[in-house]
Amino acid sequence: MRSRKKILVILLLLAVSISAFITYNYMYQDHRDIAAEAVDYQLKAKQLSNAMSIEKTALEYTDKVIQTSGIITAIEKNSVVLDQTVQVNFLESKPHGLALDNKVVVKGRCVGYDDLLELVKIDQATILQQ
């Protein structure tokens, strides 16, 4: 009799801790790791910008992992601009050795299209080829 009660209590505790663990994991799940995710779309900076400037096609690329390439036309704080059409912000700090007029291949998350500057914005980017 006593041992049955004990088992019941242990089972109950187990159930509670498992559900607590699951809830906690759900509420505090990790952010997406864009650098580790597979590339969804691969296209040149100009092509990406053309697609993103149209609202309907933009949805297809938004929030997706994009691999894109182009010539660096501007370098700022933590970002570079490719072919004057795509602004790429790096995951952490800007990688070393980036120079104007160099061609780079980057991978990052497409955030959306900025129609004030006519610029696609990519964040959490990493360099694939330099």
- Supply the minimum distance, in Å, between the C-beta of residue 20 and another protein: 16
Is 79 a binding residue for another protein by CB under 8 A? The answer is yes
The residue (of 7 and 22) whose beta carbon lies closer to another protein is 22
Q: Cα separation of 19 and 6, whole Å?
A: 20
Segment contacting another protein by CB under 8 A, of 3-11, 16-24, 37-45, 118-126: 118-126
Take residue 17 and report the two structure tokens written for it: 């801790």
Is 63 a binding residue for another protein by CB under 8 A? The answer is yes
Contact positions with another protein (CB under 8 A) in 98-117: 111-117
**Cβ count near 110 (within 10 Å):** 24
